[in-house]
Amino acid sequence: MSKEATLQFEGKEFKLPVIVGTEGEKALDVRNLRAQTGAITYDDGFGNTGSCLSEITFIDGDAGVLRYRGHAIEDLAEHSSFVETAYLIIHGNLPNSAERRRFGDLLRLHSPVHSAMDHLFEGFPLGSHPMAILSALLNSLGCYYPHLATNRPTEDLANFEEASAIAISKVRTIAAMSYRKSRGLPYIYPKRTLPYCENFLHMMFSQPYEDFVPTPEVAQALNLFLLLHADHEQNCSTSTVRMVASSGANLFASVAAGVCALWGPLHGGANMAVIEMLESIHAEGDDGSKFIEAARSGKAGHRLMGFGHRVYRNYDPRAKIIKASFDKALASLGIKDDPLLQIARRLEEVALRDDYFLSRRLYPNVDFYSGLIMRALGIPQNMFTVMFAIGRMPGWIAHWKEVASNPKNKIYRPRQVYTGAVRRPFVPMAERP
């Protein structure tokens, strides 16, 4: 295959180098395009733009393939755990037993938050959204660990193992504390003896007078949920993390920005939007048919939430795995006839036969069923996106590291095609219409 593409523009020919990834995907290298031609590329939403070279996650959207560091998501879902997968994503390989032990020790060591942080929680009004609290408190970690947040990438990288363990471990403690704060409940502190997911559920649901002990199926369902969300290459929040990191910002500031980007309903907020949609369909006594009819407009407010994906145009492999594990989790929780689940199943069935959805290649994404799983686990709705953030933390950390350790790192700075007014004279206030 030719290592160059030819571009004809304004009567001249330009050569564009072709870059080929390890899985064969091709990119036209336009880094010198503007210097050579005076033109830039236009790609609203970046759907055709490769913003970086990355070794972390491979997705083939047409074939429904997702791999972390070369490992198929199906294999990891069957054989691994969230913590082991987090190690894989951050450090590049599955850990041996000594590495796994050390990682677990670091996570345990860093599970409590600094007691001064309690006061930060107190500063938020009751009912504050946990995503706002999570983002603010993650960023504040840089104040408690200034040696890990120097904003000098080489120095921050020297302490990366500690910083990354703090981020993974504390995101779960902060998340649980933000939930307890939003409900006016006393904080429950982490227990060193508990594994990652069980510890989170303990901090969420234990009472000062009684420990919450989840069934193994419930802990496993949470483990799987987090593992399936652990990375997804250059999505909106991860690109945000990379963008912030590209300026040299520290890990905590970068992942806090990722939380903000994740919050919106077109990204991490979709799992919450799915439940809101199912509840409103249920409240209206619709079996889903009227909703599907309206969703064919594709307009905001009518979209079938949990359907469609920028990259997956066939199926989302995470949705397949989560759906398959769903029945086991529900059975262990004793849930049989959830009306929202019935509506969800019907929506999926109808949409997968409907020409509108088929012709646009809109299939269930991971959020279609993950919201229902969270709901079954007793996670309150405004925490769903927070759960996604806990799961995505390893990915954000790995991408931060990739940017921070790139000796050729360039600050992210896209261009634009300006379409506003051309130069016009300044008119004094008294003469303005």
Q: State how far the Cα of 400 lies from the Cα of 415, in Å rounded to an integer.
A: 23
Nearer Cβ to ligand ACO, position 148 or 305? 305
* Ranges within 337-366 binding ligand ACO (CB under 6 A): 360, 362, 365-366
Rule CB under 6 A: is residue 246 a binding residue for ligand ACO? no
Nearer Cβ to ligand ACO, position 156 or 367? 367
Bridging pattern class, strands 57-60 and 65-68: antiparallel
Q: How far apart are the first and last CA of the chain?
A: 62
Nearer Cβ to ligand ACO, position 117 or 347? 347
338: CB partners within 8 A, 6+ apart: 330, 372, 376
Nearer Cβ to ligand ACO, position 268 or 317? 268
- Confirm whether 337 is a catalytic residue: no
Which residue type occupies 175? A
Number of residues that bind ligand ACO (CB under 6 A): 20
Q: State how far the Cα of 334 lies from the Cα of 174, in Å rounded to an integer.
A: 30
- Confirm whether 75 is a catalytic residue: no
Query: What is the closest distance, in whole angstroms, from the C-beta atom of residue 114 to ligand ACO in the complex?
Result: 32
Alpha helix positions (H), 8-129: 33-37, 73-79, 82-91, 97-109, 117-123
Q: How many residues does the chain have?
A: 433
* Ranges within 36-75 binding ligand ACO (CB under 6 A): 45
Element (H, E) at 60: strand 57-60
Q: State how far the Cα of 134 lies from the Cα of 125, in Å rounded to an integer.
A: 14
Nearest to 169 by CA among 135, 196, 147, 130: 196
Rule CB under 6 A: is residue 307 a binding residue for ligand ACO? yes
Choose, from 309, 354, 355, 399, the residue flagged as catalytic.
309
Query: What is the closest distance, in whole angstroms, from the C-beta atom of residue 266 to ligand ACO in the complex?
Result: 4
Half-sphere exposure of 287 (CA within 13 A, CB side): 3
Query: What is the closest distance, in whole angstroms, from the C-beta atom of residue 268 to ligand ACO in the complex?
Result: 6
Element (H, E) at 54: none
Rule CB under 6 A: is residue 202 a binding residue for ligand ACO? no
Rule CB under 6 A: is residue 298 a binding residue for ligand ACO? yes
Choose, from 156, 231, 316, 367, the residue flagged as catalytic.
367
287 within 8 A of 278, measured Cβ to Cβ? no
238 within 8 A of 231, measured Cβ to Cβ? yes
Q: Which stretch binds ligand ACO (CB under 6 A): 87-95, 120-128, 298-306, 407-415?
A: 298-306
Q: State how far the Cα of 28 lies from the Cα of 20, in Å rounded to an integer.
A: 9
22: CB partners within 8 A, 6+ apart: none
Q: Which stretch binds ligand ACO (CB under 6 A): 108-116, 180-188, 301-309, 399-407?
A: 301-309
Nearer Cβ to ligand ACO, position 183 or 310? 310
358 within 8 A of 348, measured Cβ to Cβ? no
Nearer Cβ to ligand ACO, position 103 or 291? 291
Query: What is the closest distance, in whole angstroms, from the C-beta atom of residue 82 to ligand ACO in the complex?
Result: 17
Per-residue DSSP letter, 274: H
* CA–centroid distance for 342 within its chain: 27
Rule CB under 6 A: is residue 321 a binding residue for ligand ACO? no
Rule CB under 6 A: is residue 394 a binding residue for ligand ACO? no
Rule CB under 6 A: is residue 267 a binding residue for ligand ACO? yes
Q: Which stretch binds ligand ACO (CB under 6 A): 6-14, 170-178, 263-271, 373-381?
A: 263-271
Rule CB under 6 A: is residue 305 a binding residue for ligand ACO? yes
* CA–centroid distance for 355 within its chain: 30
Query: What is the closest distance, in whole angstroms, from the C-beta atom of residue 105 to ligand ACO in the complex?
Result: 32
Q: Which stretch binds ligand ACO (CB under 6 A): 74-82, 135-143, 174-182, 304-312?
A: 304-312
Per-residue DSSP letter, 364: B
Nearest to 322 by CA among 275, 372, 384: 372
Rule CB under 6 A: is residue 313 a binding residue for ligand ACO? no
Rule CB under 6 A: is residue 309 a binding residue for ligand ACO? yes
Candidates 213, 266, 324, 358: give the one binding ligand ACO (CB under 6 A). Answer: 266
Q: Which stretch binds ligand ACO (CB under 6 A): 98-106, 183-191, 295-303, 326-334?
A: 295-303
Q: Which residues bind ligand ACO (CB under 6 A)?
A: 45, 266-268, 270, 295, 298, 303-310, 360, 362, 365-367
Active site residues: 309, 367
